[in-house]
Amino acid sequence: MTIVKNSININASVEKVFAYVSNPMNTPEWMVNLVEHTNIVGSGVGQHYHWKYTMIGLPFQGETTVLEYVPNERFVTESTGGLSGSFTFSFAPHESGTKLDLEVDYTIPVPVLGKLAEKLVLKRNQREADMSMQNIKERLEV
């Protein structure tokens, strides 16, 4: 598994940041290379949806289930399919609003990409996570 970590301070309330980030309908607005979320069923723990994503131009699709949902504190998702892994979002009050932490634990489909491309993909995925967090900040600091 590969881990990407990121943290950002957002000048918006914890409630606003949590509501935005935990709603899968918003994710295509801020997550780099996420094409769509569809078939969203339920809310909170057990919420389930399908997704389409591209990595270095290659299309992937799969499903995500929310495993943990603590309003305004934390939520965790698990994805299966073309890309497998988990996303853990943590929210905490910060002097200027909210501190948002993200940890993504995923498996790169090495047979698809090849070992040579793996290091390049790792660096690119970290940059894309940084950009995704910046996108959240820009959308909420209006």
Report helix, strand or coil for 15: helix
The pLDDT assigned to 109 comes to 64
Indicate the pairing of strand 84-94 with strand 2-10. unpaired
Tell me the CATH architecture of domain 2-140.
2-Layer Sandwich (3.30)
Q: State the CB neighbour count (10 A cutoff) for residue 18.
A: 22
Task: Tell me, rounded to whole angstroms, the distance of Cα 87 from its chain centroid.
Answer: 6
* Stronger pLDDT, 118 or 5, i.e. the higher one: 5
Each residue's pLDDT tens digit, 36-80: 999 999 999 999 999 999 887 888 999 999 999 999 999 999 999
The pLDDT assigned to 56 comes to 75
Which has the closest alpha carbon to 64: 73, 54, 83?
83
Most distant CA pair in the chain, distance: 45
Q: Over 80: is that where the pLDDT of 2 sits?
A: no
Map out the domains of the chain as residue ranges: 2-140
Question: If you average pLDDT over every residue of the chain, what do you get?
Answer: 90
Each residue's pLDDT tens digit, 80-104: 988 889 999 999 999 889 999 999 9
